[in-house]
Amino acid sequence: MAPPIGVHRLHGTVFFNTGDAWNDNCALSWGICGPLIGALYTLHHTRLLVTRQSAPGLCPGSRRRWHGTDLPEPRRFILGSAPKIWHNHDMSTDKPIPPKRYWLLAWLLTLAIIPALSIYGRRLQTLARENLDTGLLAWLIATPTLLLVFAVLLHQVRRGNYRQLWHLSWALALFGLLPLTLPAVEERLHFLVFGAFGLAAGRAFPIWLAVFLGTAAAGLDELLQWALPDRVGDWRDVGFNLLAVGGGLLLARLGKR
């Protein structure tokens, strides 16, 4: 009987199960990871911008007062820096909410997801394969993903901003194509979550602290997998985790420019 879906390790050797299981893994990974990629992109690029067409003294779409007199020009480009003043308010105090608070919440979320995937990843993979139509799910995710990429490229071309487009190309290759080479769904999810961890840490903390936290998380996660009966930690996984964290940190640094 063929081994179950995913990656199989025996005495330190990695075995890959190909065929229908591999196809199911690819479709399922896109189905699960696609929304995460979209959420990361939205979190990194969406912001409320004050333009010169906005009503003086008011935030767009809000009747609350604007704290300041200078209205900055909008700066919209791929991996571009967010405005220095965050145009959102705490409803209780009516004070601007700093953007680092959002990144800190995102970092805490990824910090909780990483060990959860190590503990429940195999069960999640089995449950998803038994209850989801992977082919249809892959199409539902691939179509809006392609439309999103096309819309971003069209937006940049229309604005005449070509310098930042190459960042989109390597980011999609790193976080969109490389995870497909990993044999198990939980490993692909791990890669994307570690990328999100690096991105959030790079925006929420100083770079030296973000590098330390990313390195520590990559190592401690594999130690946890060594302790689990259905998982096996190895140096290869540590390397992939560090690669994902490094990509996320690079995106964070580019976003601060």
* Chain centre distance of CA 107: 11
pLDDT in tens, 57-103: 444 444 344 444 444 444 443 334 444 444 444 444 545 445 678 88
The predicted structure's pLDDT at residue 20: 47
Contact 11, 157 (CB under 8 A): no
179 CB neighbour count, 10 Å cutoff: 23
The predicted structure's pLDDT at residue 255: 62
Alpha-carbon gap, residue 102 to 89, rounded angstroms: 12
Which phi and psi (to 5°) does residue 107 adopt?
Answer: -65, -45
Alpha-carbon gap, residue 123 to 111, rounded angstroms: 20
Alpha-carbon gap, residue 111 to 210, rounded angstroms: 13
**Which segments in the chain show pLDDT lower than 70?**
1-99, 128, 132, 134-157, 161-164, 185, 230, 233, 255-257
The predicted structure's pLDDT at residue 42: 52
